[in-house]
Structure 1
Amino acid sequence: MIGAGFMGAAHSQGWRVAPRFFDLDATPEMTLLVARDPEKTAAAAQQWGWAETSTDWREAIAREDIDIIDIVTPGDSHAEIAIAALDAGKHVLCEKPLANTVAEAKAMAEAAERGAKKGAFSMVGFTYRRVPAATLARDMVAAGRIGKIRQVRASYLQDWLMDENSPLSWRLQKDRAGSGALGDIGAHAVDLAQFITGVELSSVSGTMETIVTQRPLAAASTGLSGTAAEGSGAVTVDDLALFTGRFGSKDDGFLGSFEATRFSTGRKNALRIEVSGSQGAISFDLERLNELDFFDASAPVTEQGFTTILVTEPEHPYISAWWPAGHMLGYEHGFSHQVRDFVQAVASATAPTPSFADGLQVQQVLAAVEASAAANSIWTTV
């Protein structure tokens, strides 16, 4: 695994736990953790369960005993590492968004195609697909339980930047992160909406805002770009992105609305998707991740209303590996499900999903939103 921050902890949990609860066709060994600071990397490896450490990702890729490379670094290094790993014949799991630009994402998708021909597979980490309630929502929509889709509402609401004195970090620098709320959390809303509906966005119209344009420098932030002499630095990404989108064609598609913000006061991690159809609706909220709300329009009018499905039965997606019904899962379980799906695909020489091509398509949606915002919210083709 290359990278040892927040996502490093989450991915480590997945690698460590998945083979102990799922009957995998191959058992992953947590061989090597790679990050820049030797002392911090050694401490993280000991805490998370990695056998060795390194500060050189190229050395990791060159090792013959390494089969899988898991990339959890900031977006500015995704393309270089993933392409090198795939060309070396390694399987690659890469965090979202796939890259910082469409050009980088295209190069990664092309490397994935080359790798697949040699038996090296790749996947982008849109982990929320693996929350059992979200997977159940996809299954119910695909089975026609809500009829013909008419409208989608999607939002990802956080508030961790609402304090204007919060220090500048790499997530607020376009050269490191690619974009702000749009790419960091909006990418999840885009992917999950497309995953649940089974239809891709074809055009968008959006606007973006940077609410706090300067932030104080933290002690460890002196290497950030855009810094000012007085001890503050420029925020070069968006804090808020709002856009509408058309799924599919104009004649046979439907509209959706999207919001991605890190300034939604009081909202901690509210990823919400609601899909309305001709025969019903489904609604998912990540802050209630063991539940799925379902409205059945075919029920007698005297009995209609949203019903909350508690997604903890062994018949629900992924649940049979875990606890008895009613015993809740948490955020970290999605990473175990991600490892389960990725390892099973690699072991069976089957291309895993979402693929790098899927990651590229989401990157194209994000780029279209930025282009639309730059052109005063005109409709822009994905």
Structure 2
Amino acid sequence: MRPQRGPPRAAPPQTVKQLLKELRQQKSREGARSPVGFGSALPAPLGWCSLAPRPRSDTQPLCGPTWVTPRQPGGRPWGKGLRCEGVSGELVGGENWGVNWEIKGGQCVPWGEFGAPLLGREIQDPYPEPQDLAAARAALGGRDPRELLRQDEEGDTLLHVLCAGGHWALARAAAEALRDLGGLEVREHLGKTPLLVAAAAAAPEIVRDLLVLGANPDAADHEGRTALHLAAAYGRPEILQAMISSGVPVNVEARNFEGQTPLHCAVLAHNASLQGGYSPAGGSGGGSPTPQDRFRCVELLLQMGADSSSQDTKSSLTALHLAVRGGNLALAHLLLRQPGMAPRLVNMKAHGNTPLHMAAALPGTPSQEPLVRLLLASGADPSARNLEHDLPQSLLPPGAPGDPLRLLLRSRRGSHRPPHTAE
């Protein structure tokens, strides 16, 4: 048991886990069609198979989209339309509680996730299957709201537990029952609201629903991390897409207690994934994020309006400083390609060091020369000096390894007219 914060809670007559168990038993007795993890498994139509809870596809689009809607016997649509891409012929999970579809010659990606348009288009159906949602509402409808608000020894309410497990219909029904009682903002022992739990658990449908129902999009946990920070650090582009599709304004410049914006977190996570070092996987669904997922998070944050010139409050580092320090040529290209950003970004200083200083100080990595050339082509000033009065060329490795870049930087110094630099 974790130590409690604040005054001790009165021991509830029924723990959250017991309530969850009772809901399962109730749905099993009713014989209702229930979500995966609640009662019996879903029937699989037409020989299609049922999978584990909340399957996901992390595949990238390979070709133009085709929209399909699987049908049940009799022709009634079975769930949501799917976006079919690629040529792998894999079985890819849909959104309907464990049902998957076999699309010959292509991969099926649920609308609103993994390759759906990022901006400007609504999710077609922001609800679970009607029968699932009706059953979930019936299961919770007779409950005393105070019972739903009870917290266990770790501060979890039933809604926290449902969000952590990715149980979409029940989470939606619980959120509807609790939204007027402050239940969407209850915090567990780490300071996470249900929205933050859903973001960390890689449950994009629940994230979107909670936002639409009024959850605070900028709520932060005990480390100052918002849902954007968690999605960025854990490499979950589907969470960012869900937040976009909700239409709820969110503060993309929020700071965690390290003084970092979500964009800083996303760049650090992508750096770590390329270097093979530790980077938090996060979440219980969706499998392990790939470097492509983490790169996608950076792209999405920029499209959401993140300011790449924002400096963290501890070291004054911008996203470009972090990318260059990590030898991340792909992210440096992405950041400098933004319209009008290169002149403003390329000579900003972090404790006196420009990105060019940081590129010169790299320990002879394969990306060092391409980074130096990219920065110079983007307007980096080779005559800028840091707080120790060092030129970038002074930070190159001594001897033969650094000689070609040293000559390049010296040749550029005489012809460069430095633009205004931001300290």
TM over 0.5: no
TM range, smaller chain:
under 0.3
The structure with higher relative contact order (CA 8 Å, sep 6+) is 1
